[in-house]
A and B are shown apart, each in its own frame.
Chain A
Amino acid sequence: MSIDKDTAARIAKLARIRVEEGELDALAGEFNTILGFIEQLGEVDVEGVEPMVSVTPQRLKRRDDVVTDGDQQAKILANAPDAREGFFAVPKVVE
């Protein structure tokens, strides 16, 4: 499996990271190095082995379905790059 420039561009798009056209070849090369390293996993016989979900055998704990938090609007917005009238502000999404 080899990653070409178009695939590199598609991955960057999926990851929502802008990569300039001129950098795509180098990026594809790095992906191929890393994926070449990962390819070794193909040698392992994993027949009948379940993919690990949790490293320690545990059941997720449950808690009562009650409100435990809230009323922190100012704190939640305190670090926003752009907050207006109690909301996060972003560029126009809908035309």
Chain B
Amino acid sequence: MTDLNRLTIAAAREKLRQGEVTSVQLTEACLSAIDSADALNAVVHKTPERALKMAEAADKRLQSEDAPALCGIPLGIKDLFCTEHVPSQAGSRILQGFRPEYESAVTRQLWDSGAVMLGKLNMDEFAMGSSNETSVYGNAVNPWKVDDRDLTPGGSSGGSSAAVAADLCLAALGTDTGGSIRQPAAFTGTVGLKPTYGRVSRWGIVAFASSLDQAGPMTKDVRDAAILLRAMAGHDPQDSTSADIPVPDFEAALTGDIKGKTIGLPREYRIDGIPDEIDALWAEGRRMLEDAGAKIVDVSLPHTKYALPAYYVIAPAEASSNLARYDGVRFGHRAKLDQGDGITEMYEKTRAEGFGAEVKRRVMVGTYVLSAGFYDAYYNRARRVRALIKRDFDEVFAQGVDAILTPATPSAAFGLGEMGGKDPVEMYLNDVFTVTVNLAGLPGIAVPTGQDRQGLPLGLQLIGRPFEEGDLLNIAHTLERQAGFVAKPTRWW
């Protein structure tokens, strides 16, 4: 039995039920793939013993009862999810040694359905970054390569995208505040879905910007995203923003029939300085959906240009408030104090030592935009612009548009160390196509659709109506089939 780690969830589910493989075999294949992939630095806390115990239990369950779809499926979990008694550091030094006494709602739900945890995955510190370069664990590396350079797997869910692309797990969990699932998926030729805000509980996930954060699946194909989303979603009384509505069978929505669907192409997403290849890919995606029977219309989202600046007020503001809890008192790192240091010195030294440069920058920007005298000019203005961005989408959907097609990223994966060194804003521009979706609370999915001339994967994004992930996944599934993307990175690690 070789290469079991390369299976999709759907294929493994079938084989488990046919008795062709066991969860232990699947899990062992992934654990051995993980052990030989240290060069990718994707898995930062390995949990092999726990994984095998969970797999054994799943095998028993598969024999004795009508087991859920995820039963026996080995998954990688982003370090942002709190997992009981397993290090959960959010990629930060300030949470060094933190072992939660509780389990996040999403992972609890997955383990209850029999899924297997392989370990925790690398990420940008507190999910702040687009290249996985702000992590305390060091860079995660993209399994895709075209020359001597190591490329970024994207961020912040860079460990998740690298792990899925390199077949270290069958699928992974990511989180997305401004593009952190979709951009890494596009950089690695994998599928990443950010669900509608409120679809998935945020309880037990380390908070970055609470009005934007949403967890979602990162998978090898669209069907797996549908399967995993169903297992993650649902109302949770512990998250007051989680939506109390039924979770449909998203997989059943994958009919492959999109005849009569209307797909909008927003003219404002045609921006200067974007490589021709991205524009060509977008046109190609349009043709693919047209060939499948969809009607394509031009639409306008006039406030698109202001999404990134609004995001870089709102997200840091919420982060400065959420990250106030890291004070060296209740958990995580506390600085060594000098004689005579009081509690203020303890806070200041602890946070200076514990946070990396990008996190400090955002916490301080957030502090500034919320401070007396600037709250109206920055924070309230950004929230007003956010309302206009959401209204843009509402109006497009009211015209009968079912989904919106855009590029996922402004480029293919770039080299580690090549971006944002002098100007943090350069890195922020990575999220230009994805961040609107978080501000408007909508579901968005990145689907691998082509390759650039060097052979690196490129993705397109589809944006759906709120809580219509089934419909969105069906359109994504159709795009995936039309594109026929099957390329895999050549193993070098």
B329 touches A88 (CB 8 A): yes
How distant is A28 from chain B, measured CB to nearest CB, in Å? 11
Q: Does B367 contact A (CB under 8 A)?
A: yes
Query: What 0/1 readout, one digit per residue, does chain A (43-56) give for beta carbons within 8 Å of chain B?
Result: 11010011111111
Known: A16-B348, A93-B343. A52 touches B386 (CB 8 A): yes
A88 to B196, CA, bound (A): 39
The answer, among B306, B352, B428, for a CB contact under 8 Å with A18, is B352
Q: Does B138 contact A (CB under 8 A)?
A: no
Q: With a CB–CB cut-off of 8 A, which chain B residues contact A40?
A: 305-306, 309
How distant is A13 from chain B, measured CB to nearest CB, in Å? 8
Closest to B352 in A: A18
Residue picked from B240, B309, B390, most chain A C-beta under 10 Å: B309
Closest to B422 in A: A33
Q: With a CB–CB cut-off of 8 A, which chain A residues contact B466?
A: 56
A34 touches B425 (CB 8 A): yes
A79 to B384, CA, bound (A): 40
How distant is B381 from chain A, measured CB to nearest CB, in Å? 5
Q: Does A66 contact B (CB under 8 A)?
A: no
A55 touches B197 (CB 8 A): yes
Stretch at the interface among B49-57, B126-134, B355-363, B476-484: B355-363
Q: With a CB–CB cut-off of 8 A, which chain A residues contact B97?
A: 79
Closest to B349 in A: A18
Q: Does B61 contact A (CB under 8 A)?
A: no
A15 to B355, CA, bound (A): 12
Q: With a CB–CB cut-off of 8 A, which chain B residues contact A43?
A: 306
Q: Does A41 contact B (CB under 8 A)?
A: yes
**How many of chain A's residues have a CB under 8 angstroms from any CB in B?**
49
Query: What 0/1 readout, one digit per residue, does chain A (40-79) give for beta carbons within 8 Å of chain B?
Result: 1111101001111111101011010000000010011011
Contacts of A15-30 to chain B: CB distance below 8 A? 15-19, 27, 30
B211 touches A92 (CB 8 A): no
A44 touches B243 (CB 8 A): no
Contacts of B282-314 to chain A: CB distance below 8 A? 303, 305-306, 308-310, 312-313
Q: Does B341 contact A (CB under 8 A)?
A: yes
Q: Does A91 contact B (CB under 8 A)?
A: yes
How distant is B413 from chain A, measured CB to nearest CB, in Å? 24
Closest to B362 in A: A34
The answer, among A37, A52, A91, for a CB contact under 8 Å with B428, is A37
How distant is A16 from chain B, measured CB to nearest CB, in Å? 4
6 further A-B pairs in the complex, CB-CB below 8 A; given A16-B348, A79-B97: A11-B367, A15-B360, A18-B348, A38-B369, A49-B387, A56-B198
Query: Footprint of A on B, CB under 8 Å?
Result: 97-102, 196-198, 211, 237, 240-241, 243-244, 303, 305-306, 308-310, 312-313, 320, 324, 327-334, 337, 341-349, 351-352, 355, 360-361, 363-365, 367-369, 371, 378, 380-388, 390, 423-425, 428, 439-441, 466
